[in-house]
Structure 1
């Protein structure tokens, strides 16, 4: 039987590891304290105690910036799955027992993905597992990756052009690029629209930190052309509305077009690549059974349109 001293030691070690892993995920002692509902000094003391016991330095400290030392990186790779396994023990036990009627699932996705990609999978999942608390976070780009790396979401769904080394991306469905213009627009009367034609008109695009802007910039640069943006707007629904109002034209994927819009659509496959949407995961992240089941359902929804 373990002694009281041994039990205390094991409990303290778990607290230290949990504090250390949360600091790494959040990149901040302050944020880690908020996540664990502890004070900032308490988190600092836990990490310092762990460093003393292991006779090493886990973080390089330069003001508010924390960077893992080589020993810190090695410890995190060992400790993170252990801490995560302990913290998720109850949920995973229930799920492994064949019961998916409880637990939670947190998914990050942009507005367009939530509106156009996820509805069918969400509907199927909620009907099949009404006891699972499903939350959709409307996040894109850097904000979504930040939540993913901090384990605030199980995974994200969206489109990625550049994939960071610590992230894995699995395409699920592919859509075609199109130019949308209001009815009667000069471009709608041209038999074969070129990039040079498009460059003469102002574009309405999503914010520049999102992937669409980078893709448009790259394609125009490849053809030694420039483009002009008259309006930045978040979300395809907003963009479609302003194009209908005659405030500009836009390059979108046909994911957002349902045929009810007062718009002319012009194919752009000759210039722009198809756009895939898929699963964005943190490498090494353990997916809960709830997350695994949702992923299966999402793939089932689009099994006839799986990206090549």
Structure 2
């Protein structure tokens, strides 16, 4: 014990405790100072000095000879159990850090989209994106209408994918895909085989439509009103899958976008184009004007259509290009 007021001895190795601990762990693992020195790219005397300094600081003997090997003492076993995770963790720090940085570079991508977009349009896009960018954390927010625009304005999502009739001035819309409007009926319905189809032919039959707040209902109402053709709504229900099921059951007819019609639907429904009266519906990307888009956001849009987010891809006037 040093005299009262005297300073304890200082050892130069204390400036870096990692070195003597690493030397001790290597000797304890390999059982030889010479082999530890090779593993550490040091001379044997340097390893010996580090071990001696460590034992002096701790005040215990850490290693003892057993035959031709050096083995940890009881105290050495305890120190080895404590020091090994620290040494290995520090030695692997650089590699782990680089891995984490790659994760930060990969980042996250938040996309707002309605149910029909997520169900029919995005599956191949998401599959391709996950294959090309497996480290990006992709979040699809299932929202419709104003809710999706609110997420865009608050930067809770990077972009939105869907169909728009009116584009607010603070947003930009780049159409990517277009789909025809289709009349769907049961296969045995009179309209399914009528040679010439007029808009007036739909009047006697009740329509199954999405709720009034959604774009499809507004568009159907607009077309009938403009053509002065009366119509009736038999049922309001959300979701193309539900609408198709109810039409197949004979509960009414409907006007849908071709995006939702699958090969299986063609077996249980009759589908006819209404492009003569109804405009095609475009689906594309909506972003907040002035927002910087991350590389992963642009990559996602590119999968919808190459060059989609080039400046001329937007309709800056605030209206969709349909």
**TM-score, normalising length: structure 2:** 0.61
Alpha-carbon contact 1:106-1:153 (below 8 Å) kept: yes
Counterparts of 1:232 and 1:181, CA distance in 2: 16
Q: State the Cα distance separating 1:287 from its structure 2 match.
A: 0.9
Q: State the Cα distance separating 1:100 from its structure 2 match.
A: 7.7
Which among 227, 230, 242 is matched to residue 231 of structure 2? 227
Which residue number corresponds to residue 113 of structure 2?
109
Counterparts of 2:231 and 2:154, CA distance in 1: 37
Q: State the Cα distance separating 1:266 from its structure 2 match.
A: 1.3
Which residue number corresponds to residue 182 of structure 1?
186
Which residue number corresponds to residue 262 of structure 2?
258
Alpha-carbon contact 1:169-1:280 (below 8 Å) kept: yes
Q: Give per-residue Cα distances to partners, 1:184-226, cap 9 Å, x unaligned.
A: 1121131112111111111111111111111111110111122
Which ranges in structure 1 are unaligned for 5 or more consecutive residues? 1-93
Which residue number corresponds to residue 247 of structure 1?
251
SS in 2 for 1:117: helix
Are 2:287 and 1:281 equivalent residues in the alignment? Answer: yes
Alpha-carbon contact 1:100-1:290 (below 8 Å) kept: no
Counterparts of 1:231 and 1:202, CA distance in 2: 8
Q: Which moved more, 1:224-233 or 1:270-279?
A: 224-233
Which among 275, 279, 300 is matched to residue 269 of structure 1? 275
Which among 164, 167, 179 is matched to residue 171 of structure 2? 167
Superposed CA RMSD in Å reads 2.3
SS in 2 for 1:114: helix
Are 2:288 and 1:298 equivalent residues in the alignment? Answer: no
Structure 1 runs (4+) deviating above 4 angstroms are 97-101
Which ranges in structure 2 are unaligned for 5 or more consecutive residues? 1-97, 314-320
SS in 1 for 2:161: strand
Alpha-carbon contact 2:103-2:135 (below 8 Å) kept: no
Pick the structure with greater CA Rg: 2
Which residue number corresponds to residue 95 of structure 2?
none
Counterparts of 1:291 and 1:219, CA distance in 2: 35
Alpha-carbon contact 1:179-1:265 (below 8 Å) kept: yes
SS in 2 for 1:118: helix
Q: State the Cα distance separating 1:300 from its structure 2 match.
A: 4.1
**TM-score, normalising length: structure 1:** 0.64
Q: Give per-residue Cα distances to partners, 1:135-157, cap 9 Å, x unaligned.
A: 00111111111111111111100
Are 2:237 and 1:237 equivalent residues in the alignment? Answer: no
Which among 139, 142, 145 is matched to residue 146 of structure 2? 142
SS in 1 for 2:117: helix
Counterparts of 1:113 and 1:301, CA distance in 2: 20
Which residue number corresponds to residue 161 of structure 2?
157
